[in-house]
Chains A and B, each alone.
Chain A
Amino acid sequence: MSVASAAARRSAAMTVWPQLEPLLPQVSKPIQYVGGELGAVVKDWDSAAVRWALMYPDAYEVGLPNQGVQILYEVLNELPDVLAERTYAVWPDLERLMRAHGVPQFTVEAHRPVGAFDLLGVSFATELGYTNLLTALDLAGIPLLAVDRTEAHPVVLAGGHAAFNPEPIADFLDAAVLGDGEEAVLEITDIVRAWKEEGRPGGRDELLLRLARTESVYVPRFYDVDYLPDGRIRRVAPNRPDVPFRVHKRTTMDLDAWPYPKKPLVPLAETVHERYAVEIFRGCTRGCRFCQAGMITRPVRERSITTVGQMVQQGLEYSGFSEVGLLSLSSADHSEIGDICSGLAERYAGTNVSLSLPSTRVDAFNIELAQELSRNGRRTGLTFAPEGGSERIRRVINKMVSEEDLIRTVVTAYTNGWRQVKLYFMCGLPTETDEDVLQIARLAHEVIKAGREATGSKDIRCTVSIGAFVPKPHTPFQWAAMERPEVIDNRLKLLKQAINADRSLGRAIGFRYHDGEPSLIEGLLSRGDRRVGAVIRKVWENGGRFDGWSEHFSFQRWVEAAAEVLPQFGVDLDWYTVREREQTEVLPWDHLDSGLDKDWLWQDWQDALAEYEQDDCRWTPCFDCGVCPSMDTEIQVGPTGRKLLPLTPVRGLRMPATSSR
């Protein structure tokens, strides 16, 4: 028998497929567990030097389209001696069967047990995935607590936006990476490869130490947290000499050099987004004070119009998708967004390719773009996010848009053929009163009145969508008190009444809202410290799963777990959520460096309270938020002055390069 076939047999023996397959007819949507997507990579287990399992801790239908995971998956699999596979949260029906039949957490490509990989990288876009992490670890046979793990277990590594405060899950993690992952995963791969080649000197401890020494991989076990008698943190400090006091975020510069995903995954099962998404830039300096994403991804780095055009062309050709999403935190802000949109619209005119752009900025320019994008006649709906109902509160959150501008923009949309406009708002913002929220009703009424006048038609609608504000780490609102769910829910009730107070106008206004309760828990998790880990564990033990799904989320379960676990530390749920922090308080994430200067953040918080606005550093001088000098980065924006040239239309069949099958 040849060596190759022996190896193939051994890796074939590793698959859990024979045990998993008979369970699949008994669960809902079994296709999400079978893999085999276009773009999926299956490599030989034995010839890989470093093996990554990448997880998005939510259901396949949400996790598969995730850009972060797709990018890292491709970057890693491009290395010949590295293997990366994906795993997602399994639904409770399959979890039950897996436990009954002893089937471990598996990857979807080759159905390998997650516990056999060198690393388990988990992408947290939101904190609501924490309980799903515990399910995956437990199903994988990986001890929940990092201290109980041995060399036989994967290094459990968190990334994504929520990893900017991983303290609530610190006990369950071996490491966390702050910021962009492209270069980080390559560096981590090199460290793991070298350590394995050297015969794993010093065991797991040495490996984690090597990772920590990069100063951009956070290893929670190397830091001790001391508390004051009143429950606040006294200090967080390294417990060994050779690890850094602060861990810094990673920033991928020159997005043109990282044109991923090139080979997007095309799911067989239905997912939340079936489109080719391309990030047109990263970072945002609009400076909305509630927005963690904008704060932690600075500075702005644009991808050039030429690269965007090329990525779209190749991505569509590879995948066969017929929708393109131009992604970023505020897509209309790209220096060449007009040329990108018209260039792409021109290129794909007469085909079934449609373009979409998550537009949030409220101005006439956005309507022009939207018109460009809906050339084929589809004007389904436009979304704007004024976020705050009154001009006063919009100054507090630094979302600079006047009421006249807002109404003018929406009316322009109506007169240009849109019948439906969605307006996004937040409730429970710092300094907010009932009156600020009631202004939303007035605004919506004005919008409908003006719209009816301008179009002479009663057939126009607007939807008010409103959710509760959650203060996030590394933002000026990190010190703010949350509003209690009762207050939020009452304000939403008042708002609904005010909208419907005028029957004629109220009929044209839809009202969608999220209850205050889930947001309070999100608040606990986002600004929590290591003591919150015990709450997460308790909730999970009591059956908590899929907390991002209203049908699975149980507020009661979280409240009870918090009441059971937190008093031993002298704190409680309120302490974490509705309490305002002082300037001198040590925050749980102070040792994690997003580049933002804490003094600048505090000043911005004071400016918020004084209703003083802050401009954008792309168009006004640098206002010293701290990121660029401390991270050694700079703003990268166009314009390049280039245009997208027409494509030669591809006709007929596209034959595979090698028709081996």
Chain B
Amino acid sequence: MPVAYSQGFTPHPKISYASAAPTGVASEAEYLEIGLCEEVDPAELRIALDAALSPGLDILDAVVAGPGSLADRIDASRWRIELPGVDPAVLRHAVSAFLAAPEVPVERMTKQGRRVFDARGAVVSIDVISTTEAPSEVEGVPCAILEVVVRQVTPSVRPDDVLSGLRVVADLAPPVPPRATRLAQGTLTAQGEIVDPLEADRDGAAIGER
């Protein structure tokens, strides 16, 4: 890619990641901005970048950025959290307790040290999904599934913070590590929907097949 570099003695490629997913979670919706020094066809850029990346890191779409920064268009994420070995009824109970609490203080190690912050305020919605089929690789045990919409705040509230919150309010202790996947990020509407941040730049016509 004809990537642009910053000025100075140690030039860096102009790449910025908007609210990247934390380590140890899966994601189906990550966004980044790349500064280029030449105009290229976004569809071809998608193919070139996808070919260079590791299997499992798939580039789905590329658009020419319109005005405004990407970060300004991302204010919430939707997560799916699978909890193998947790009974959905038990999870439902914990979620009700979480929703009923005005504030749920949780603790996490951050770069600045141990911090306590509220995990409840940023949660827009939290639902136990009823599904008939167990997710892949889960056999022989019940598996409860959560879907959570979380607002972008500082410090950020991550899936593990929501789980810590469930432990705080209802002693929920999953027997095996739960698996979180980010399903979407973007602009949060009044209805609690998340709008794809690239939508505005797409001119109606989709570039790159999804």
A229 contacts the other chain (Cβ, under 8 Å)? Answer: no
Inter-chain contact A25/B24, CB cutoff 8 Å = yes
**Which of A22, A37, A38, A653 has most B Cβ within 10 Å?**
A653
- Which positions 1-22 of chain B face chain A at CB distance < 8 Å? 1-2, 5, 9-11
Min C-beta distance of B40 to chain A, whole Å: 5
What per-residue 1/0 map shows which CB atoms of A201-222 lie under 8 Å from chain B?
A: 0000000000000000000000
Inter-chain contact A25/B2, CB cutoff 8 Å = no
A92 contacts the other chain (Cβ, under 8 Å)? Answer: no
Inter-chain contact B51/A656, CB cutoff 8 Å = yes
- Which positions 120-156 of chain B face chain A at CB distance < 8 Å? 137
Taken together as a complex, chains A and B put the C-alpha atoms of A22 and B177 apart, in Å, by 6
A570 contacts the other chain (Cβ, under 8 Å)? Answer: no
B38 contacts the other chain (Cβ, under 8 Å)? Answer: yes
Inter-chain contact A352/B54, CB cutoff 8 Å = no
Contact of B51 (CB < 8 Å), options: A31, A268, A651, A661: A661
Taken together as a complex, chains A and B put the C-alpha atoms of A320 and B41 apart, in Å, by 20
A36 contacts the other chain (Cβ, under 8 Å)? Answer: yes
Chain A neighbourhood of B55, CB < 8 A: 36
Number of interface residues of B (CB under 8 A): 29
Chain B neighbourhood of A9, CB < 8 A: none
Taken together as a complex, chains A and B put the C-alpha atoms of A195 and B23 apart, in Å, by 45
Inter-chain contact B24/A655, CB cutoff 8 Å = no
Taken together as a complex, chains A and B put the C-alpha atoms of A317 and B55 apart, in Å, by 20
Inter-chain contact A654/B48, CB cutoff 8 Å = yes
- For chain A, the bracket of interface size reads 20 to 34
Inter-chain contact A320/B177, CB cutoff 8 Å = no
Residue of A nearest to B55 (CB): A36
B176 contacts the other chain (Cβ, under 8 Å)? Answer: yes
Inter-chain contact A22/B176, CB cutoff 8 Å = yes
Inter-chain contact A268/B54, CB cutoff 8 Å = yes
Chain A neighbourhood of B53, CB < 8 A: 38
B58 contacts the other chain (Cβ, under 8 Å)? Answer: yes
Inter-chain contact A377/B2, CB cutoff 8 Å = no
What per-residue 1/0 map shows which CB atoms of A87-103 lie under 8 Å from chain B?
A: 00000000000000000
A639 contacts the other chain (Cβ, under 8 Å)? Answer: no
Taken together as a complex, chains A and B put the C-alpha atoms of A22 and B40 apart, in Å, by 40
Inter-chain contact B56/A36, CB cutoff 8 Å = yes
Inter-chain contact A352/B2, CB cutoff 8 Å = no
Inter-chain contact B58/A38, CB cutoff 8 Å = no
Taken together as a complex, chains A and B put the C-alpha atoms of A565 and B51 apart, in Å, by 55
**Which of A24, A25, A352, A651 has most B Cβ within 10 Å?**
A25
- Which positions 340-362 of chain A face chain B at CB distance < 8 Å? 352
Min C-beta distance of A354 to chain B, whole Å: 10
B45 contacts the other chain (Cβ, under 8 Å)? Answer: yes
Chain B neighbourhood of A36, CB < 8 A: 54-57
B71 contacts the other chain (Cβ, under 8 Å)? Answer: no
Inter-chain contact B177/A26, CB cutoff 8 Å = yes
Contact of A656 (CB < 8 Å), options: B2, B40, B41, B47: B47
Min C-beta distance of A303 to chain B, whole Å: 28
Inter-chain contact A352/B58, CB cutoff 8 Å = no
A661 with B58: in contact, given A18-B137, A24-B24 (CB under 8 Å)?
A: yes
A629 contacts the other chain (Cβ, under 8 Å)? Answer: no
Contact of A652 (CB < 8 Å), options: B2, B50, B51, B52: B2
A30 contacts the other chain (Cβ, under 8 Å)? Answer: yes
Taken together as a complex, chains A and B put the C-alpha atoms of A211 and B14 apart, in Å, by 53
Chain B neighbourhood of A37, CB < 8 A: 54
Contact of B54 (CB < 8 Å), options: A18, A38, A378: A38
Chain B neighbourhood of A40, CB < 8 A: 54
In the complex, besides A35-B54, A38-B52, 10 extra interface pairs with C-beta distance below 8 angstroms are A22-B179, A30-B23, A36-B56, A377-B9, A378-B10, A651-B38, A653-B41, A655-B51, A656-B51, A656-B52
Interface residues of A (CB under 8 A from B): 18, 22, 24-26, 30-31, 35-38, 40, 268, 320, 352, 377-378, 651-656, 659, 661
List 5 tightest A-B contacts by C-beta distance, closest first.
A25-B24, A36-B54, A656-B51, A659-B47, A653-B48
